[in-house]
Amino acid sequence: MANDRLTDVLDATYTCLSRYGVRRTTMDDIAGEMGVSRSAVYQYVRGKDDAVRQLARRLHDRALERAAAAAACDAPPAERIHGIMAAKLDLVLDIAGGSSHAAELLDAKARLSGDICDAFTERIRGLLAEQFAGTGVAAVTAGPTEATGLARPAEPVPPTDPTRPTAPTGSSPTTPATTPIPTPDGTPLTPARAADICLALVIGLESLPDAAHLLRPATYALLTGLLPAPESHS
């Protein structure tokens, strides 16, 4: 019952923030939205600041749960990466799309919730980096995946050159999909840097009106450049 009442408090807090913004919202506003006395609200939160922080944490935790579920699901790596990115984008679109005032909950510089936003972004970055570091990424470059529409078609295998010596049986040739991709400055593209590029894409889409529909094709285009292609042998 207490959890249900706390949920009611946070729901009322969100409604008030959407209407008035963080600074103008008062405990009286929250109590009025719930139809209870202000003292009743104090049974579940210490004050307005506490209510705002708990609300911000709840929203970010729910998004993080979706991202973690996407990262752990039984799907091709490209689809998992897309799911993680979608969790972050959906959080922004759901909050900012409802009210410009509520968008304050997404501001990393906000006094009450900035640290929550930063921690969320760092965890999303970590989930993405884990995907790029995993050996399963090789599956994305192996061929098309009908279920996701994200995997890159496999490059044709060149014919065998009879004059070229073959590797001895039992040898372990280098796996092309794990070969680091050089960047323009010559440094390898690490999983952490690949994760930062994915985050930059999501942040860039957040302000676009058709962001939800653009994410999937944008992810496909991005992964085509980020995921290593099989090396050709001549």
Cα 218 vs. chain centroid, distance in angstroms?
14
CATH architecture of the domain formed by 1-45:
Orthogonal Bundle (1.10)
The alpha helices in the chain, defined as continuous H runs, are 2-20, 27-34, 38-41, 48-72, 77-96, 114-133, 138-142, 191-205, 211-226
Of 97, 118, 99, give the one whose Cα is nearest residue 107. Answer: 118
Residues 47, 152: Cα–Cα separation, whole Å: 52
Residues 203, 208: Cα–Cα separation, whole Å: 10
Instruction: Indicate the domain borders of the chain.
Output: 1-45, 55-153+176-234
Task: Specify the 3-state DSSP secondary structure of 137.
Answer: helix
- Residue 193 pLDDT > 80: yes
Q: What is the phi-psi region of residue 18: left when phi exceeds 0, alpha when psi lies from -120 to 50, beta otherwise?
A: alpha
pTM of the model: 0.77
Tens of pLDDT along 164-177?
A: 444 444 444 444 44
pLDDT band at 180 (very low <50, low <70, confident <90, very high): low
Class of domain 55-153+176-234: mainly alpha
